[in-house]
Amino acid sequence: MDAPLATPCNIQICEVTCDSFRIMWDMPPEDTARATHFFIDLSRKENRDPNRFKHRDVPTKLVAKAVPLPMAVRGHWFLSPRTEYCVAVQTAVRQSDGDYLVSEWSPVVEFCTGDYAMEHLQQLLDKASGPAGRLLKFSVFYRNQHPEYFDYVRRECGGLMRPALKDTSGSHGSPINGKLQGVFFSCNTEFDTGLPPKDSPYGPLRFQIPAGVLLNPNICLYFADFYCMYTAYHYVVLVLAPVGTEGDNFCRTRLPRLDLASNPFLTYTAPQRQGEEPVYCHASDVILEVLFTEPVHVDQGSVEQISGHHQLMSLTTANAKKDPSCKVCNISVGR
């Protein structure tokens, strides 16, 4: 009778990305020499089943031929970015009758996958470019809030609208979610008037600021996300970061940078002749969410009551989850 296999121990996870990782563990040299297969049990931490599966029940698990460690795991479960997983391993020897001699399951190890890499964001950018539509001129960025917000800004913040941490809305793997601070602005205009929409779900007061204050040659423009919320409307998240600031340094290695004068979403065209004004344009067929990474003083613009209705807060994108079934704005990172 064959000697039993030792229980794998000292499980180590390394080289973790949004869609892959490498795994290694310790086992005696004699087990290394005779192991023919590895069984890997991977599950999301929040959905973990406390009952261990048996090796004969592995159609939904990974059965891999024994390879030198560390072993790369990629795409077998279409790993999700920024997700906590539990993993355990079992070594096995396939016997002549087709059955397996297996070790006990290793201790369970937890790890978390990473953000989208630059290549994944470039895929999102490419997907967003088509639906963006033609460019329309605009003249102001705007931000709607409740009266209490502006009262607080003036009373407690010296008139400064301070950056806040980006929420978890949009693509789960966007590197700015929960990590980058900023002040959100809109710039979309109504097709027939060329002006900001009369309605807003964010509040009845609107702060407006000339476009050139936030969008100019001293600003870096970055693409951060493309998503929808089970509707026909799609959102593009952009970041405006003054050159050399902390926000710019954060985005430089994580997000695709866009040419201010030539991109599908938001452009600045410098004056061509003396006396001319810059031209600012926004994409017509997507809703732009623009995150400015520095404080903005209310005295740089004006606060006025909107002429339309204050819509339901349920229409906002706060912490909204992306539709995972949409073929327009989803990418496959596990292939």
Which of 29, 24, 28 has the alpha carbon at shortest distance from 12? 24
Residue 59 pLDDT: 36
Within-domain flag for 42: yes
The answer on 189 and 49 residing in a single domain is no
The answer on 276 and 177 residing in a single domain is yes
Measuring CA to CA, how many Å separate 242 from each of 30, 251, 295?
A: 60, 11, 11
d(CA 87, CA 45): 9
d(CA 293, CA 268): 18
Within-domain flag for 323: no
Give the residue from 113, 144, 166 where a domain finishes. Answer: 113
Q: The domain containing residue 195 runs over which residues? A: 118-305
Residue whose entry in the numeric block shows the structure tokens 């009845």: 204
pLDDT at 293 over 50: yes
Give the residue from 89, 113, 137 where a domain finishes. Answer: 113
Within-domain flag for 185: yes
Q: What residue type is assigned to position 84 of the chain?
A: E
The chain-wide mean pLDDT, for the chain, equals: 89
The answer on 174 and 86 residing in a single domain is no
Q: What is the pLDDT of residues 229-265, one digit of tens each?
A: 888 889 999 999 999 999 999 999 999 999 999 999 9
The answer on 134 and 24 residing in a single domain is no
Q: If DSSP codes are grouped into helix, strand and coil, which group holds residue 264?
A: coil
Residue 47 pLDDT: 56
Give the residue from 113, 139, 170 where a domain finishes. Answer: 113
Q: What is the pLDDT of residues 33-92, one digit of tens each?
A: 999 999 998 888 875 554 444 433 333 477 888 898 999 988 655 688 888 999 999 999
The answer on 270 and 163 residing in a single domain is yes
Within-domain flag for 125: yes
pLDDT above 90 covers a percentage of the chain that reads 66
pLDDT above 70 covers a percentage of the chain that reads 90
The answer on 267 and 137 residing in a single domain is yes
Q: What's the average model confidence in pLDDT over 140-156? A: 96
Q: Over 276-289, what HEC string results?
A: CCCEEEEECCCEEE
DSSP calls for 141-188: EEEEE-HHHHHHHHHHSTTEE--EE--S-B-TT-TTTTT-EEEEEB--
In terms of Cβ atoms closer than 10 Å to its own Cβ (0-12, 13-18, 19+), residue 19 is buried
Which of 268, 326, 317, 252 has the alpha carbon at shortest distance from 289? 317
Question: What is the CATH number for 53?
Answer: 2.60.40.10
The answer on 127 and 75 residing in a single domain is no
Residue 54 pLDDT: 41
Within-domain flag for 184: yes
Within-domain flag for 15: yes
Within-domain flag for 79: yes
The answer on 207 and 137 residing in a single domain is yes
Q: What is the pLDDT of residues 11-24, one digit of tens each?
A: 999 999 988 899 99
The answer on 175 and 72 residing in a single domain is no
Q: What's the average model confidence in pLDDT over 178-184? A: 96
Our count of domains for the chain comes to: 2
The answer on 126 and 88 residing in a single domain is no
Residue 310 pLDDT: 59
Residue 53 pLDDT: 43
The answer on 173 and 157 residing in a single domain is yes
Which of 250, 251, 182 has the alpha carbon at shortest distance from 222? 251
Could you tell me the pLDDT band of residue 2, with boundaries at 50, 70 and 90? confident
Within-domain flag for 151: yes
What residues contact 94, with CB distance under 8 A and at least 6 apart? Answer: 36, 37, 100
The answer on 58 and 196 residing in a single domain is no
Q: What is the pLDDT of residues 106-132, one digit of tens each?
A: 999 999 999 999 999 999 999 999 999
